[in-house]
Amino acid sequence: MRSTDRFSLHDVECALGGHQLRVANLSVGGFYVACDPPLPLAQSVAFELLFADGWRMPAVGRVAWVNGQAHASGLPAGCGITITKIAFPDKLALIDRLRRASGTAAERRGPDWDGRPEGSQL
């Protein structure tokens, strides 16, 4: 698993600033959160990821990119947050959850996906 591999997990939310926002995709290194208006670029944020089974993952991150309107990729208005500080046991638990994710290959592809099967030399 690469840190850029994105997973679409259902029922994951981000508790941030008194709001619970929908997480559109998640990776080891960060996530995309739906919010309108988006958070300011480069803002540091303390947040908690909330999973459907009750597990909560507190961490700190930084707004890495902002999308002010619905994107052609299907992403809603929102922003990408890079995780900058996370407890080691939580990171291991997150990796385990992503490995067990039942999403399809299309839901797991990374941003550099070119349509070829993983490991293909063609």
Give the pLDDT confidence score for residue 85 in this predicted structure: 98
Residue 99 pLDDT grade (very low, low, confident, very high; cuts 50, 70, 90): confident
Domain locations in the chain as residue ranges: 13-96
What is the domain class of 13-96 according to CATH?
A: mainly beta
Other beta carbons less than 10 A from residue 21's beta carbon:
19
Looking at the DSSP assignment, which residues form a beta bridge with residue 66?
79
Mind spelling out the 3-state secondary structure of 67-110? ECCCCCCCCCCEEEEEEEEECHHHHHHHHHHHHCCCCCHHHHCC
Residue 6 pLDDT grade (very low, low, confident, very high; cuts 50, 70, 90): low
Whole-prediction pTM = 0.76
7-56 pLDDT, tens digit each: 677 789 999 999 999 998 898 899 999 998 999 999 999 999 999 999 99
Q: Which residues contact 98 (CB under 8 A, 6 or more apart)?
A: 1, 5, 7, 9, 26, 27, 28
Give the pLDDT confidence score for residue 7 in this predicted structure: 63
Give the pLDDT confidence score for residue 91 in this predicted structure: 95
